[in-house]
Chains A and B, each alone.
Chain A
């Protein structure tokens, strides 16, 4: 029950935020919101011992059982790690944001979006059903869009939000297609059931396409090369959001997906190369780009891109073990996956702390540009401590947790060379070399963060505000994170046993003993290749940092014009212009044209379809005879319809239209459809009243002064529409291609407890339609209201920037 509760709670609290906010406007609403992740984290933490003992928790609620779509929550080692990160880092971020954001901001929006996001992320990691997972997945995209665009008066915020949304949502749609292929191959949407029949899926022809599409979803979400371009722009969000979305949670959804689907796809050569290869490229490209940034936040963004690549690469390397099957030698490769999970946690701790550190600098000093910063060490000693520990952990130096996982990463890249599968014998050397190069860049930018911000001379004339230490409250969260950085270094095996080991069991379900998959992590592992590589990183890194000025031109060699970002901008610019032109072409504001489009499509499709099939058969022999009063009604209707064409005044037209409507109601009465007759009568009355109300706003009818040709065309269209409808109406009577479903509804009293078939259909059998119709009606009503009431007042200030 806790699991469902933890997904629901953020949404429920989010719904109440606006009311609370209005009631206590002086009070910082963040304190209320803080209770949510703290509570959830505590609740989830109580599951740790049971999860560590290999238990899993499953609970299913039926949603659309006929399609196999059920709300199934699943808690195992893997979802445990992620849910703890989401709620744990979430608590710290919210605590931090309470001091970061003043009550002058529209906090109710901010925390509403943040809770939506948190709930959606928890939904992603707890869903066992692929469709439900997809729904939550897209909800994270939408809520992060709202969060990135929180300061929506800034153009860059809006552009960044749109970029993130465009890229992650298109990846998400690809992923949905992949999920549907998995469904086609396995016959189920449940991940656990797919895992149970994984051999069937692997033999399917849809296996490779499904893999590619699912990877697209994961890569776009986790900002892997070449989709990484959205992440730096997403830094327009307030810093707490960056710390949360872009260090701990949203970007890790892609990692989660890869980890979760590794048992399905892992072991295949393509999966191995795609995941580890793209990861490696991202690692290198991200770290290379980070070095040339001047904005601290952009630097951290590229560093996140690169670290995500590292984790992704490790998952790819680890998937090789699934190809080999369980043996003592494949255990070496499972250590790559172990390192991936380990680094995942480490990255969240040090990167979260670093983002908060940058936020503090920005908040207290007023700038994040390293060209203007410097010498803050003496003025902001606590912030300096955070920066040093966070950066050195990121650079992979002891005694911080980043060192441990970095060593394991080096070990894995070296170990992969011993494999002789997947053509690795010729390419294996690429992994350690690129990893080593990327680590040098990582080292350089880590040093840049510390040195350029805190060492050297203060340049007070370049700063917006006089520098001083941050308030105590803002320092709590990053301090907790950096104490974790050190704590994990000192006691890594506690984490390994309780948190990482159960997750290993989720990724390698077929492997017998999970304790063998858990290596003993030790800080001192002898003088071996990894350690020498780290020493090399430090030595070369220091040299390169000292001579950084000389290398600067090298970074500018790559022309901006050919970057993926430039391509993105060009595509967006072109499609905006194209769709603008196209829309202006057909949306010319003349309602006659809109009707012509609709009618032409209608006639073309219906008549076209009728030519391809033989649906239009008219056989009057079975029809009932036409009574005289029916004929009278028909003549009344014909008269009204024809008179309508020649009406000179608008009121005549309205009334004649009413005659038509009421006559139809009479027909319903004659044909014993009292429900329809009632509805028709009332609707007709209400619409006539509406017409009369808006009457005085409408101009007089003017005789149409169109050329003969145009009038002829319009007449042809009208007549063909009328003819089509008539023919369809007649043909329906003889349509018996399918068995009529009316027999099913006749049993309404037993099935739904109502004697009125129409009503049971509306309320029971097809209540889904009714529900959505109600929503549509409501939205239409709101549309009318906003169009009329909320017209932009003249002289309103331009909101655009």
Chain B
């Protein structure tokens, strides 16, 4: 059965970018406003799932040639790595640090090592969600 999904595809083209932008915004907003690595990752993941639902797996894979298992594994390494990393600075396990820096364009910016940790969380969430959904949908 062939489904006529012109409307869905057209809408998704616009919506996916909004979803991705929202996901990235949520990820960075996390420290001071609602958001964070987990939610950011979930939103990004659901955006990707939306793409998979609309287009077929091959098409999406051509646009995003990632192995999502590796994305998840990298995320876990990043999260645990930042935790271990503090040991090298003579601080207890999982110590995080923050500070204000002057960056070009952005000006005075609040940077925190939590962001790296959260990035690990986000990547794990994206990777795991997409892996699960892909493996279920690809199963014969």
Instruction: Give me the interface of A with B, judged by CB distance under 8 Å.
Output: 61-65, 71, 674-675, 678-679, 682-683, 685-686, 689-690, 693-694, 697, 752-756, 758-760, 762-764, 767-768, 770-771, 774-775, 777-778, 780-782, 784-785, 788-789
Contact = CB atoms under 8 A, between A and B. Distances in A.
Contacts of B112: 753-754
A784 B31 contact: no
Contacts of A686: 42, 45-46, 49, 129, 133
A777 B124 contact: yes
A774 B93 CA distance: 17
A675 B42 CA distance: 12
A141 to B, nearest CB: 23
Given A62-B91, A767-B117, A784-B132, A679 B42 contact: yes
A767 B94 contact: yes
A62 B30 CA distance: 29
Given A62-B90, A71-B87, A754-B114, A682 B39 contact: yes
Contacts of A693: 133, 136-137
Contacts of A682: 39, 42-43, 46
Contact of A63 (B69, B87, B133, B137): B87
B75 A778 contact: yes
B136 A690 contact: yes
B1 interface: no
B49 to A, nearest CB: 6
29 contacts: A61-B87, A62-B90, A62-B92, A65-B92, A71-B87, A678-B34, A679-B39, A685-B46, A689-B53, A690-B132, A690-B136, A697-B139, A752-B98, A752-B114, A754-B31, A754-B32, A756-B32, A756-B33, A756-B34, A760-B31, A767-B83, A767-B117, A770-B117, A771-B83, A771-B117, A774-B125, A778-B76, A781-B72, A788-B136
Interface string B1-43: 0000000000000000000000000100011111111110011
Contacts of B131: 781-782, 784-785
Contact of B37 (A697, A755, A763, A782): A763
Interface string B122-140: 0011011101110111010
A753 B139 contact: no
Contacts of B124: 774, 777-778
Interface of B: 26, 30-39, 42-43, 45-46, 49, 53, 69, 72-73, 75-76, 79-80, 83, 87, 90-94, 96, 98, 110, 112, 114, 117-118, 120-121, 124-125, 127-129, 131-133, 135-137, 139
A774 B42 contact: no
Contacts of A758: 34, 36
A112 B33 CA distance: 45
Contact of A755 (B31, B117, B121): B31
A756 B96 contact: no
Contacts of B118: 763
A119 to B, nearest CB: 15
Nearest to B88: A61
Given A679-B38, A781-B131, 17 more contacts: A62-B91, A64-B93, A674-B34, A675-B34, A686-B45, A686-B46, A686-B129, A690-B132, A693-B137, A762-B37, A763-B30, A768-B94, A774-B75, A775-B76, A778-B128, A781-B129, A785-B135
Given A61-B87, A767-B117, A780 B42 contact: no
Contacts of B33: 755-756
Contacts of B72: 778, 781-782
B33, B37, B93, B135 pick with most chain A CB within 10 angstroms? B93
A63 B92 CA distance: 5
B133 to A, nearest CB: 6
A758, A780, A781 pick with most chain B CB within 10 angstroms? A781
Given A760-B31, A764-B96, A784 B136 contact: yes
A215 B30 CA distance: 52
| Chain B contact residues, majority secondary structure | helix
A71 B72 CA distance: 29
A675 B79 CA distance: 21
A763 B69 contact: no
B69 to A, nearest CB: 7
A61, A63, A678 pick with most chain B CB within 10 angstroms? A678
A768 B84 CA distance: 11
Contacts of B90: 61-62
A794 B100 CA distance: 60
A763 B32 contact: no
Contacts of A754: 31-32, 98, 112, 114
Nearest to A70: B92
Nearest to B76: A778
A19 B80 CA distance: 21
Contacts of A697: 139
A678 B96 contact: no
Contacts of B125: 774, 777
B136 to A, nearest CB: 5
A699 B46 CA distance: 26
Given A65-B92, A774-B120, A755 B34 contact: no
Contacts of A778: 72-73, 75-76, 124, 127-128
Contacts of A781: 69, 72, 127-129, 131-132
Nearest to A696: B137
Contacts of B42: 679, 682-683, 686
Contacts of B93: 62-64, 768
B16 to A, nearest CB: 14
Nearest to B137: A693
A89 to B, nearest CB: 30
B135 A784 contact: yes
Contact of B69 (A760, A780, A785): A785
Contacts of B127: 778, 781
A462 to B, nearest CB: 52
A64 B32 CA distance: 28
Nearest to A679: B39
A62 B121 CA distance: 24
B71 to A, nearest CB: 10
Nearest to B78: A774
